[in-house]
Amino acid sequence: MKYWNLGQMKSLIGDSYHHKIRMFEKSNANNSFQEIDGFLKMRISDFIDFIQKKSSLSSNGSNSIFEFAQFGYPDKTTIDLNNTSLYMIDLDMTKLLHPWHDDLVKTFKLSSILPGGSHCMLNSVSIQRTNLFAL
């Protein structure tokens, strides 16, 4: 099986919705991108289509409008690819793309820093609750 291929990812989990997609819009004032509050809830196949269309935008001069359906919203969401960037966070590879996760752990040079590894920063997070009002 060939890993790390968007087409393969689309065929495996493309119909699933992901609920943690951040949106950034270009500010005309200083030509930088500003994060928009909240999350988009879009199908993974639509996110992959967004990546492919945005990457081919400069080379073929195609239409810069992209439409997709959001989970729980009746109308399609429309964005301008020239002024908008999307960022997917917290994709659970162990659950959705288990073979890919295994390949990442096996081939990553510092796999001990990955979640669950011996040097993962999450190992230092304390779950002990402190009553701040008692201090």
Q: What is the pLDDT of residues 27-55, one digit of tens each?
A: 877 878 899 999 999 999 999 999 999 98
Q: How many helices (H) and strands (E) does the chain have?
A: 4, 5
Residue 135 lies inside a defined structural domain of this protein: no
Residue 67 lies inside a defined structural domain of this protein: yes
The structure tokens listed for 61 are: 């001069």
Residue 103 lies inside a defined structural domain of this protein: yes
Q: Distance between CA 85 and CA 83 in Å, rounded?
A: 7
Residue 128 lies inside a defined structural domain of this protein: no
Residue 134 lies inside a defined structural domain of this protein: no
For the residues 6-35, what does the mean pLDDT come to? 90
**How many domains does the chain divide into?**
1
pLDDT value at residue 23: 95
Q: Distance between CA 65 and CA 94 in Å, rounded?
A: 33
Q: Is 47 exposed, middle or buried (0-12, 13-18, 19+ CB in 10 A)?
A: buried
Q: What angle do CA 13, 18, 24 make, to 5 degrees?
A: 125
75-134 pLDDT, tens digit each: 999 999 989 999 999 988 888 988 888 888 888 898 888 877 888 887 777 766 666 565
pLDDT value at residue 18: 94
Residue 121 lies inside a defined structural domain of this protein: no
Residue 129 lies inside a defined structural domain of this protein: no
State the distance between the two ends of the chain, measured CA to CA, in whole angstroms: 56
Q: Which domain, by its residues, includes 78? A: 6-108
Residue 119 lies inside a defined structural domain of this protein: no
The structure tokens listed for 99 are: 């073979």
